[in-house]
Amino acid sequence: MKADVLVIGAGIAGLTTAINCAEAGYQVILISKAKQLSESNSSYAQGGIVYNKKETSPEALIKDILRAGGPLVKKESASIVARDGASVIENLLIKKAKVPFTKNKFGFQLTKEAAHSHRRILFAYDTTGKYIIEGLLNYIKQIKNIKILSEHMAIDILTREHNTNDIHSVYMKPEALGAYVYNLRSNKVKKILAHVTVLATGGIGQIYKHTTNPKIATGDGIAMAYRAGAKIINMEYTQFHPTTLFGHSAQNFLISESVRGEGAVLINQDGKEFIKHHKGSLAPRDIVSIAIHNELIQSHKEFVYLDLSKIQKLNIKKRFPGIYNKCLKYNIDIEKDLIPVVPAFHFSCGGIFVDSWGRSTIQNLFVAGESSCTGLHGANRLASTSLLEGVVWGDRISKYIKKYNKKYFEKKFPVVRDWESKGVRDKEVDPALLKQDWETLKNTMWNYVGVVRTKNRLQRAQRDLTNLRSSIETFYRNTILSADIIELRNAVQVGLIIANAAWQNKTSRGGHYRLN
């Protein structure tokens, strides 16, 4: 199977790239490992997307991004989203996808979130990501030159050096040629050759015990790029969201930062505010998460509360219907009850290094969305910039490909080897081993490479994860291929990358906080 452009992932970044490349006239294959294309990290975004209107100066937004992400922010990237974001949103999300962003009598209603100096966030009630993805999926149905393959999972990126018999490839720059793709329905592996490959595989949250991310967020793109030889950076900067609903049966449910943006505050179980920062509960996420962590350690409690009593002037049920209904399932009426919350892993500020046009260090391999690192987020992402980054870089990738099309589409494909099963591969995956390996990974990452890190914890994480990776590689090569073992292999690799990066960096900054 061949394509001009292969897009791996169907979140906001992948869909934007696929739509724009197809509208530029290229044959696009879009794959997603999910059964339902709507299942992605993007779909779970509650708060919104930064909308720095064209008539608004970009300087204030740039300043807020720099303040949240610190000196590690790449100012060029901040300038790009502040300057170009509004037009991309208007053209794709508003005009084409017709996303029903919430309005008032003056036009689009804008909200404010942590570390923002102005109200500049577009939202659709409290399920913004869901409405955006629905709109993009409805729009993409109209485009004929996109072939969509759901329940198809990339195993590894094809490269000239690793997957051809070209002995001179060692003298060339690394070059992507597509991917080996596993069909989850037929259990067959096919190679998809592509002049351009775009990774938009989303987040890594499932490597942690507590996360806001869905089950598909296993770090696949980062692991594949690492094995192919791409440069991976800033992986120690793991952002933990301060407020997820506490309770074993309520795991992964995010209480949007918009709730605090509207005026809700965090209090301890004695009813007192405890965050010592001039912005209080609206301080940057790393500061709030560390404050909650310290409060829980000192108080020996399992959670703190989010108090909405100060925003009763709002129609809470109308403004936050998703959160209201979800909490009600757990007998919490947010119009009168406190919400028990704890921090959970939310977003990776690091990823596959890309330039301002989404190009990785491997030729023909572009990356967009959370699996990339554009430098926009520095050490700590400013709220509601993740959807913006995905749509802006999805747009920029397609523009670059169109501008330099001869560079990509006039080359002939070399002969790429078919997929070969290596080792025995005659054993079914033992579910007990799989479950134990996942629990070992999640607990190791949460306890040793979590909100607060120390020298001893990181040393133990490196040792344990190195051993675990070795065992899983053997497991992978000697069992029948399945989505479970592919994801586990990817997840442990990403966990080890984070642990190694956290060990090497002794300076606390943003999402990387070391006591020693």
Token couple for 426: 């005659």
Between these two residues, 54 and 43, which has the higher pLDDT value? 43
Tell me the pLDDT of the chain averaged across its residues: 93
What does the pLDDT look like over 388-409, one tens digit per residue?
Answer: 999 999 999 999 999 998 888 8
Q: Whole-angstrom Cα distance, residue 261 to residue 399?
A: 35
Q: Give one DSSP letter per residue of 125-168, joined into a string.
A: TT-HHHHHHHHHHHHHTT-TTEEEEESEEEEEEEEHHHHB--GG
The pLDDT score that the predictor gives to residue 406 is: 83
Helix H or strand E encompassing 386: helix 386-403
476 DSSP β-pair partners: none
85: closest CA among 438, 463, 341, 387? 387
CB 196 within 8 A of CB 435: no
Tens of pLDDT, residue by residue over 83-104, are 999 999 999 999 999 999 999 9
Residues of the chain above pLDDT 90, percent: 80
pLDDT of residue 424: 54
Amino acid sitting at position 42: S
- CA–CA distance, 277 with 460 (Å, rounded to integer): 33
Catalytic residue among 120, 160, 285, 457: 285
pLDDT of the residue at 386 = 96
Give the chain's length.
516
β-bridge partners, 30: 7, 148
- Residue 317, exposed/middle/buried by CB under 10 A (0-12, 13-18, 19+)? middle
- Rounded average pLDDT over 491-506: 98
pLDDT of 425 > 60? The answer is no
What domains appear along the chain, each with residue ranges and CATH number?
1-237+349-418 (3.50.50.60), 245-343 (3.90.700.10), 431-504 (1.20.58.100)
d(CA 240, CA 212): 9
Q: How many CB atoms lie within 10 A of CB 115?
A: 22
- In tens, the pLDDT along 320-364 reads 998 999 999 999 999 999 999 999 999 999 999 999 999 999 999
Average pLDDT over residues 223-241: 97
| Least confident among 205-209, 295-299, 422-426, 496-500 | 422-426
Alpha helices in 164-266 (DSSP H): 220-228, 257-261
From CA 214, how far away is CA 152, in angstroms rounded?
17
Phi, psi of 105, rounded to the nearest 5 degrees: -70, -15
pLDDT, position 54: 77
What pTM did the predictor assign?
Answer: 0.92
What is the CB-side half-sphere exposure of residue 126 using CA atoms within 13 A? 23
285 belongs to the catalytic site: yes
Note the helical H segments in 266-380.
Answer: 285-299, 316-319, 321-329
Nearest Cα neighbor of 322 from 108, 10, 12, 45 is: 45
Q: pLDDT higher for 259 or 285?
A: 259
